[in-house]
Structure 1
């Protein structure tokens, strides 16, 4: 299955519209955007994966 950038753009606009009409909170927007990057595997996906890995590693090391 091939997902193109245009499909990602359309999904991004849909999520932004949901945020604008207050049917999606800011936290939900972030989760939806991250899910979109993972699902689409665009060129930005490796950077998002690295960012999420860094955040989870940092959270795991809190208190150690």
Structure 2
């Protein structure tokens, strides 16, 4: 439901017409979202799941 409604809501209120600023804003919001997901232990799937399992079993940090 959110995915169906959000494109219509966002397209009605553009922040700016500048493509570079739009890319910067998009990157900031995406990074914030990813940071929140990782901060609270979530994953996006893929290689993060084995890395989290390795960290849980060995204590090896995810960032190295």
Length-normalised TM-score, structure 2: 0.34
Q: If you compute each CA radius of gyration, which structure gives the higher value, 1 or 2?
A: 2
Structure with the bigger percentage of helix: 1
Q: Higher relative contact order by CA 8 Å / sep ≥ 6: 1 or 2?
A: 1
Length-normalised TM-score, structure 1: 0.34
